[in-house]
Amino acid sequence: MQRRSGKIDGGVGGAGRAAKTITKWTGVNDRTAKNWILGYHGPSGEHLIELMGNSDTVLAVILELAGRDGALAEEQVKHLRHELRVVLDSLDAIYGSQNE
């Protein structure tokens, strides 16, 4: 989702590709998705939640507009810490725990 005059593209590329992706995520028809992308209309609350659930870009923009972008950063740090633990556990399993 890029915020240009209220337009939504889901952060997934050009208008054609974005419309297809948005249609897949929300179940709306192609014309509705294109209207959202062009900024003619916006998604309902239910559709906005679906977009946020599928697109980190949409979620980030919504949180930023709500003044809650720190919440996203905190969640991203939690996710990265988990991913690092998984990688370190995998390395330990492959190479064994070694003293540094």
Say how many domains are in the chain: 2
Element containing residue 32 per DSSP (H, E): helix 30-38
Same domain flag for 22 and 55: yes
Same domain flag for 59 and 82: no
What pLDDT, in 10s, does the model give residues 69-82?
A: 887 788 889 999 99
Q: Cα–Cα distance between 83 and 80 in angstroms, integer?
A: 5
Same domain flag for 27 and 47: yes
- Which range is most confident: 4-13, 25-34, 64-73? 25-34
